[in-house]
Chains A and B, each alone.
Chain A
Amino acid sequence: MSVDLTTVKRVASLARLAVTEAEAEALVPELNGILDWVEQLGEVDVTGVEPMTAVIPNTLRLRDDVVTDGDVRDKVLANAPQAEHGFFAVPKVIE
């Protein structure tokens, strides 16, 4: 499988990364180099092998259903690029 310019632009768009034409062009050979190299995984016989889900066998814990946090609105907003009236502010979404 190899990627072309259109694919790179599509993937960048999926990743919400603005790329210039020059950046996208430079990424094509780089990504193909890396993808060609990882292709070798295809030669491993994985018949009957389960994909790894946890390196250390672990069952997810449940905790008591109680409030353990909260009431820290100003802390949550402290690093916001733009906060107004106790909310995160973003450009207008609905026209």
Chain B
Amino acid sequence: MRTELTDLTVAEIRDGFRAGDFSAREVAEAFNANVAAAKALNAFIVETPEHALAAADQADKDKAAGTLKPLSGVPIGMKDLFCTNGVQTTAASHMLEGFKPTYESTVSQKLWDAGAGMLGKLNLDQFAMGSSNETSYFGNVISPWRSKNGGNAPLAPGGSSGGSSAAIAARLCPAATGTDTGGSIRQPAAFTGISGIKPTYGRCSRWGIIAFASSLDQAGPMARTVQDCAIMLENMAGFDARDSTSLDLAVPQWEAGLSADLKGKKVGIPREYRVDGLDADVARVWDDGIAWLKDAGAEIVEVSLPHSKYALPAYYIIAPAEASSNLARYDGVRYGLRDLPDGANLQDMYAATRAAGFGPEVKRRIIIGTYVLSAGFYDAYYTQAQKVRTLIARDFATAFESCDVILAPTAPSAAFALGDKTADPLAMYLNDVFAVPASLAGLPAMSVPGGLSKDGLPLGLQIIGPAFDEQSVLNAGLAIEQRAGFTARAEKWW
């Protein structure tokens, strides 16, 4: 009896399919069945079993014809922030319910071109605004994990890529796309015991990704291993003339470049991240990570990122400001919802449509963004925040003069219960305290599982690298992965 196909990694599926151990159709059918049986997690907004099967049948044909592609035979999940031609794309909002794009996002197209199939569109926080997947119009995603100490209270899968993280952890897909504006790949990966990497800003095209905060938004992969993240990222990244901030650089062969030998490398430990009252489990796993990287041959050095404490407040000016501008497009005219009360004029229609189509968190951010950009306040808030952002980027540049990568926790705690932080927006925002600085600086950063909390919940370790050096980030991640021996998985209850 062989291993369940749905327990295989992307690399194992790719290689096993090539070796003839199983057909692509068998793989797609196995994952389709897991997706169909996991409604309780609410990880998918739309299921697309036929897309996965069609790609699988094509892969089986390509194998016979000897024209295999890099991801032939691999079905994946697609965050519902990527426009998919003819398949509903909502950003988990009522505003875009029923919206069927007539075009394909660059990143998803690249994955299909590489032979991957789509299992479905994954739930997320509405317009990617949230850290717990509780702002989706289509309901909360429930983490497959349960606390040993919290009864069976449903836990947050993290956000905004919470459908992606839950689906991977529950073996509904071997890998998925995510997007990260202020931690939306890394924090959900940490909460669910998987890996995820946000590459350097500009590596993955933003074309066809529903915009949240354009100077921060960056797509990246989520999967169960570092190698799988490397494989996926190679097939997502690349120059795209349709994105003005796309990096015109060749895509490195990250998978081939993987090496857990860190001899001669320096790992920086930012002293400002060791905040007062740091969770004891988080501190313990961080110390474990330091020991593992030392064991892999790296030298550990202390570094300073003096403006760290200002990253989150700067983010909560910049991101809402950009969001208020980006989301101005939802006006009830060209696509999406229209709410036209009796006798309403055009202005009334705009206001009614946006009131009906956006959830409370989205409205809150639009209003904050509109306020900080409004006449008389622009310099005090927005310009000041962008200056602080310059200082945060400088902090990293200085730190990378004395180290190759930085090691830090991904999140300040393990997953919390759904509902725990919804009453206080600020408490929710603070969850991204360790993730946001790298976003503001546009740097590659990944989360890998580091261990379990005393309640048996996953904790992530974050590796941040200099711009363009995803390889060093992945390699340090691999060194941790090999030593952490993280084999824990959520016991099936769904």
Contacts and interface: CB of A to CB of B under 8 A. Distances in A.
B367 A31 contact: yes
A15 B366 contact: yes
Nearest to A74: B102
A90 B346 CA distance: 7
Given A41-B384, A42-B384, A55-B201, A17 B364 contact: no
Interface in A3-25: 3, 7-8, 11-19
A85 interface: no
Interface string A44-74: 1010011111111010110100000000100
B218 to A, nearest CB: 10
Interface size class of B (residues with CB under 8 A): 35 or more
Contact of B338 (A8, A53, A72, A82): A82
Contacts, number: 164
B22 interface: no
B349 A90 contact: yes
Contact of A79 (B201, B335, B348, B393): B335
Given A56-B467, A78-B100, A90-B346, A14 B363 contact: no
Which of B100, B313, B393, B442 has its CB near the most chain A CB atoms (within 10 A)?
Answer: B313
A79 B338 contact: no
Nearest to A42: B384
A55 B385 CA distance: 14
Given A79-B335, A90-B333, A51 B324 contact: no
A14 B371 CA distance: 9
Contacts of B390: 49-52
B345 interface: yes
A67 B245 CA distance: 21
B310 interface: yes
Contacts of A76: 102, 334
Contacts of B202: 56, 58
Given A34-B368, A52-B390, A52-B393, A81 B338 contact: yes
B100 A79 contact: yes
A63 B322 CA distance: 26
Contacts of A49: 387, 390-391
Given A37-B313, A46-B388, A56 B335 contact: no
Interface residues of A, number: 51
A33 B368 CA distance: 11
B367 A15 contact: yes
B425 A18 contact: no
A80 B244 contact: no
B368 A55 contact: no
Contacts of B314: 38, 41
Contact of B355 (A19, A34, A41, A55): A19
B102 to A, nearest CB: 4
Contacts of B344: 91
Given A54-B245, A88-B333, A44 B391 contact: yes
Nearest to B341: A18
A54 B309 CA distance: 21
B425 A34 contact: yes
Contact of B102 (A54, A58, A75): A75
Contacts of A40: 309-310, 313
B340 interface: yes
B367 A27 contact: yes
Contacts of B273: none
Given A37-B313, A41-B313, A41-B317, A1 B201 contact: no
B367 A55 contact: no
A57 to B, nearest CB: 9
A20 B355 CA distance: 10
B346 A88 contact: no
Which of B370, B371, B391, B425 has its CB near the most chain A CB atoms (within 10 A)?
Answer: B371
Contacts of B317: 38, 41
Contacts of B100: 78-79
Given A42-B380, A51-B383, 5 more contacts: A31-B364, A40-B310, A41-B384, A53-B386, A61-B241
28 contacts: A11-B371, A15-B370, A16-B347, A16-B350, A18-B352, A37-B313, A37-B316, A41-B314, A44-B387, A51-B389, A52-B387, A52-B389, A53-B386, A56-B245, A58-B247, A61-B244, A75-B102, A78-B100, A78-B102, A79-B99, A79-B100, A79-B102, A80-B335, A81-B332, A81-B335, A81-B337, A82-B338, A88-B333
Interface of B: 99-103, 200-202, 215, 241, 244-245, 247-248, 307, 309-310, 313-314, 316-317, 324, 328, 331-338, 340, 344-352, 354-355, 358, 363-364, 366-371, 374, 377, 380-381, 383-391, 393, 425-426, 440-442, 467
Interface of A: 1, 3, 7-8, 11-19, 27, 30-31, 33-35, 37-38, 40-42, 44, 46, 49-56, 58, 60-61, 63, 72, 75-76, 78-82, 88, 90-93
